Amino acid sequence: SWWRKKGCTMCGYCNDIREGEITPDDLFDQYRMAMRKWDGHPYLKIFTSGSFLDPKEIPQKVQMDIMSSIGTDYDVSRVLVESRPEFVNQDDLAVLSTHIDSLEVAIGLETSSDPIRRDLIHKGFVWDQFMKAGETICDLGLELKSYLLMKPPLIGESQSISDMIDSIRDIDEAFPGSRISVN
């Protein structure tokens, strides 16, 4: 849904979406087809090319049905979903997490620098929103994972390296021991 509003500078996910109406049954069928390829690995990552927790992208009933199915039908110990911070909601996450052993929520932070995220990447949220979402995730005993962008567009390599170091330090200070993925 963020792509429809503005979209991130470097994002090509809009090329991966089907035009036209996509029903809740279509989404759950897609999940079932993907799970046919599941190889028994205990860590299941659900990549939606968007925000799993956004009810405009994945209706809450479908979110619940997927988590319930994973918890009932598969021997998975940890599930990762991706979301923008504005969709991280304590009540919804608490219910989702009851179906599985461990829920990890990944947020595409890209950088801890608000100016870089705002002006160059166009993520549409600020550090304080990430902090609030991270606190909600951690307060529920869930796992937080932060995605960082190795070299944001339109900045040089030296500034990019400094930004990565600062971002890792900022995340680690705010959420010690949380996972960070450098992309």
* Cβ contact 106:82 at 8 Å: yes
The pLDDT, as a whole number, for residue 2 is: 47
CA–CA dist 111, 167 (Å, integer): 6
Q: Which amino acid is located at 24 in the chain? A: P
Q: Report residue 162's pLDDT band, with 50, 70 and 90 as the boundaries.
A: very high
List Cβ neighbours of 137 (8 Å cut-off, separation of 6 or more).
88, 93, 105, 143, 144
Its sign, for the CA torsion 56, 58, 61, 63, is negative
- How is residue 44 written in tokens? 């299941």
Ramachandran region, residue 156 (left: φ > 0; alpha: ψ -120 to 50; beta: rest): beta
Instruction: State mean pLDDT over 115-137.
Output: 95
pLDDT (tens digit, 9 = 90+) per residue, 60-100? 999 999 999 999 999 999 999 999 999 999 999 999 999 99
Q: Report residue 49's pLDDT band, with 50, 70 and 90 as the boundaries.
A: confident
- How is residue 105 written in tokens? 């929520």
* Cβ contact 83:107 at 8 Å: yes
Q: Residue 5 above 80 pLDDT?
A: no
Q: Where are the alpha helices (DSSP H) in the chain?
A: 2-5, 24-35, 60-73, 90-97, 114-115, 127-139, 157-174
Residue carrying the six token digits 């100016």: 115
Residue 106: is it exposed, middle or buried by C-beta count within 10 angstroms (0-12/13-18/19+)? Answer: buried
Distances (CA, A) of 51 to 74, 87, 162: 23, 8, 28
Whole-prediction pTM value? Answer: 0.89
The pLDDT, as a whole number, for residue 73 is: 94
